[in-house]
Structure 1
Amino acid sequence: MFDRFETLAESPAHELALDCLAGGIDAVHPRRAVERHCALAGETLRIRNVEYDLSAHDSILVLGGGKAADELAAAFETLLGDRLDGGVVVTNERTADPTRVDVLEGEHPSPGEGSVSGARIVLDRACAADDRTLVIAAIAGGGSALLCAPASGLSVGDLRAVTDALLDAGASIDEINAVRRACSSIKGGGLAAAAAPATVVGVLVSDVVGDDPSVIASGPTVPTGVDLEAATAVLDRYDLDVPAVRARLAEPESSAPPDVDVENYVIASGRDAIDAAREVAADRGYETCVLSTRIEGEAAAAGRLHAAIGAEAADSGDPVEPPAVVLSGGETTVRVTGDGIGGPNGEFVLAAATGLPPDAVLSAVDTDGGDGSTDAAGGLVDGRTVDDPEAARAALADNDSYTFLDSKGALLRTGATGTNVNDLRVLVVP
């Protein structure tokens, strides 16, 4: 999975960290998730513990978007075979090629023209569905940018500007998506409303803390409506100058939720990745400790905290006795004040590196294979990675963790993984 694995796995601790990451990412691949949670028996499709009678439908479509949407489509094509009549999904870097479902490409993390045209095609196919259609909505993280249907009075440039401003300010995904829902006709249940009166079933791969379906891809299949006041509060919190979006949010009142009935199922999440990584560590004879699957906030601060926990474990055996593996997940953020290159996981490991105990190894990745807007998934460090602490601090101040870690051979590269759940972090204390 990892480029340069043999070079990176320079000690048993390094190798274990990489294997835990690989095990976690593999466990949340959509094909594995569909195999675990979905089954077909005759004319009965089961998703988790709910059954759907396929004989009640004249056609079955897969519609949706997100970084794992093409893999979800391919998995359902394998499961349903010729019962699947077609569909369309939008992703940013395809890793699967289903034959019955069209795969379109959009832009991420900020929307572009491909995101707009893709969303339009998805909505058109949804609008053509009738009461004898079953729509399987394949929704994954990244869908907020990849399914971009600007609300009246807004352009894709307006949505790109507000998205970039929120990302640079270090806003959380919940905050960003509150604004996105208010600026889009496909989010907040818009896709489900377009497909009515079809039966719509959302199948979700979660990249958000807490796995709230209304936050995953801004909830195309979750009829939440639009809260203009909440979206305005986010812009005010970060003092963002986005005139067109503010004008949209100044409309007289929020919209009511669409009157649609949808079942949504999260079939892969950050918790699944951590559980699989934990199993890899336990099989190697290591004690394990899961700190949390919900760690948010500034990436550098979270990294320093993990280093301190590793030092405490090595010194006192708390919160876990070595040899141990400490795991965490979540979604940290970076407030961009410099001109460098990097992402949250790069800043996380670089900030932690100077505080790690001897022989400990810390790794962190974005499970989709891209940390921020870089070609690296994250980084792998130990107590020897930083030999010039002042240079490391300067790199962090300039948001240039990518360049620093690259110079030390400490970047992790996987390419697109075909999935997208929370960040995954592994601390090995021998």
Structure 2
Amino acid sequence: MPTRWKTARVIAAELQQAALQAADPGRAVARHVRRDGPLLTVGDQGYDLSTTGRLFLLSVGKASLGMAAALLTCLGPWAQRKLGGGLIVLPEALVGAAQAWRGAAASDLRIIGAGHPLPSAGSVVAGQAALELLQQATPADLVICLLSGGGSALLTAPAPGLSLADLQATTQLLLRGGATIHELNAVRKHLDQVKGGGLALAAGDARLCSLILSDVPGDRLDVIASGPTAPDPSTFADAWAVIERVQGEAQVPAAVRQRLQAGRRGELPETLKPEAARALPLQHQVIGSNRLAVEAVAQAAADRGLAPLILATQLAGEAREVGRVLAAIAGEVVRHGRPQRQPACLVAGGETTVTVRGRGRGGRSQELALAAALSIGDAGRPVGLLSFGTDGIDGPTDAAGAWVDNTTVARAQALGLDPLAALANNDAYPFFAALGDLIITGPTGTNVNDVVLILVGDMPNV
């Protein structure tokens, strides 16, 4: 591999770290929460802990451990003594780290490992535990919810008449059908007791403050973790429309079909709606997002002598189509010096989707990169692209994403690999594994969607 490509890949790895540092959950909490004596301030909202009864803590998501640890540090020993109960729900792979932290912190918080991207039996245990915890709260108490990506699968309480298997099958159907995160959550919220404001309803008149690390484009409160503490504008009719769009009417479990149809007919209560939420003592504070991660990449690129340009922070659509579009933009930089001069760093963030057509193994970031590699070709000047999930998990694989450049297709063909066949079969993972171009970070403990960065031109000596 030419030296210039090694340099580009090293720079790309450094820019990836800049994104992950910007999404660090502990730093995000510390930026927005402070305590001065008995006064706890979250954003611009103050809470007098001297007149507060008990504190309840619920932390759910891929970043739940880091967020909980940072909040407890901010609260300090005096405020921690007011804890009336706490629960941390996180992916099963992170339970060991959480148990070790709890031992070192001498915390009595309950820790539950649950499934992701599909809910597991642990998710149901966690959902019931969360409902029971919040139902203890009174108007004199303060409930602090820490929410991050993955919460939709990690925390679930199937609605009456539904089983975990029903929820798993429905989620899998939607994922394979290419449903967007908004569509997926519209369905989830109408099949679950904790989603769509379910936790806010469980807390009743208790003050509820939610600190949110956003993993959805646009930072919509009703979509992040399926909006367990936020009002839900979607309806049963919207949820059924999603099932129809993915042509799942006949494939969805019978109990799910019956519940959604009954809801459409007005026979079941809707989720928490905005007018009802206004009567509850709720605060929502977004403390981190994809936008901040993308901006950090752009700044780190500028610090290294590159000309940065943020293309989007709400990237969406089929991963392979987005990959081709991004490759075309890189080609425009090579040929015409627009929309940015060389050496350039183009950055985009968001969450694409994959409509599964084959039987291979991969994830949306890997598929985006593979499609881009096929379009980059021999651009005449160096072009490299790194696509990764900030949580370190791309689809059902151990990779965060993949790196591609002008040499990817030629190197693959030299090894007897067919990139077109790999793309058609949704089989990007073994393709990039053979090339040594998978990006493997392990679970990062955060999640603010995906980031794509494109390096164009000869890299400066950095």
- 8 Å CA contact retained: 2:196, 2:231: yes
- 8 Å CA contact retained: 2:196, 2:271: no
- 8 Å CA contact retained: 1:369, 1:376: yes
- 8 Å CA contact retained: 1:90, 1:119: no
- 8 Å CA contact retained: 2:116, 2:153: yes
- Report the more deviating stretch, 215-224 or 59-68: 59-68
Q: 1:312 aligns with which of 305, 327, 332?
A: 332
Deviations 1:299-357 (A, max 9, x none): 01111111111111011110000011000001001001111100000001111113323
Establish whether residue 74 from structure 1 lines up as the match of residue 69 from structure 2: yes
Q: 2:308 aligns with which of 288, 291, 297?
A: 288
1:245 aligned partner: 256
Establish whether residue 170 from structure 1 lines up as the match of residue 169 from structure 2: no
Corresponding residue SS for 1:354:
helix
1:29 aligned partner: 24
2:33 aligned partner: 38
For residues 300 and 152 of structure 1, the distance between their equivalents in structure 2, rounded to whole angstroms, comes to 39
- 8 Å CA contact retained: 2:429, 2:438: yes
Structure 1 residue 175: deviation in Å?
0.1
1:121 aligned partner: 129
1:255 aligned partner: 270
Residue 189 of structure 1 aligns with an amino acid whose one-letter code is G
Establish whether residue 354 from structure 1 lines up as the match of residue 381 from structure 2: no
Deviations 1:356-387 (A, max 9, x none): 23322100111000001110000011111112
1:11 aligned partner: 6
2:389 aligned partner: 366
Deviations 1:129-182 (A, max 9, x none): 112211110111111111110001100100000000000111000000000000
- Report the more deviating stretch, 9-18 or 106-115: 9-18
For residues 256 and 193 of structure 1, the distance between their equivalents in structure 2, rounded to whole angstroms, comes to 9
For residues 156 and 416 of structure 1, the distance between their equivalents in structure 2, rounded to whole angstroms, comes to 25
Structure 1 residue 287: deviation in Å?
0.7
5+ residue gaps, structure 1: 1-6
Corresponding residue SS for 1:210:
helix
Corresponding residue SS for 2:292:
helix
5+ residue gaps, structure 2: 458-462
Aligned CA RMSD, in angstroms, stands at 1.8
What aligned pairs does 1:1-400 form with structure 2 within 5 A after superposition? 11-82=6-77, 83-84=79-80, 85=83, 86-92=85-91, 93-94=93-94, 95-96=97-98, 97-98=101-102, 99=105, 100=107, 101-224=109-232, 227-240=235-248, 241-242=251-252, 243-251=254-262, 252-253=265-266, 254-255=269-270, 257=272, 259=277, 260-356=280-376, 357=379, 358-387=381-410, 391-400=418-427
For residues 112 and 357 of structure 2, the distance between their equivalents in structure 1, rounded to whole angstroms, comes to 34
Structure 1 residue 226: deviation in Å?
6.1
Deviations 1:16-61 (A, max 9, x none): 1111111101111110101222211111222222222222212212
Residue 149 of structure 1 aligns with an amino acid whose one-letter code is A
Corresponding residue SS for 1:182:
coil
2:460 aligned partner: none
What is the total number of aligned residue pairs between the two structures? Answer: 424
- 8 Å CA contact retained: 1:89, 1:122: no
Residue 245 of structure 1 aligns with an amino acid whose one-letter code is V
- 8 Å CA contact retained: 1:40, 1:46: yes
Kindly, what percent of the aligned residue pairs are identical?
A: 42
Instruction: Assess, with a 3 A threshold, how the Cα gap between structure 1 residues 8 and 64 changes in structure 2: closer, same or farther.
Output: farther
Of structures 1 and 2, the larger Rg is shown by 2
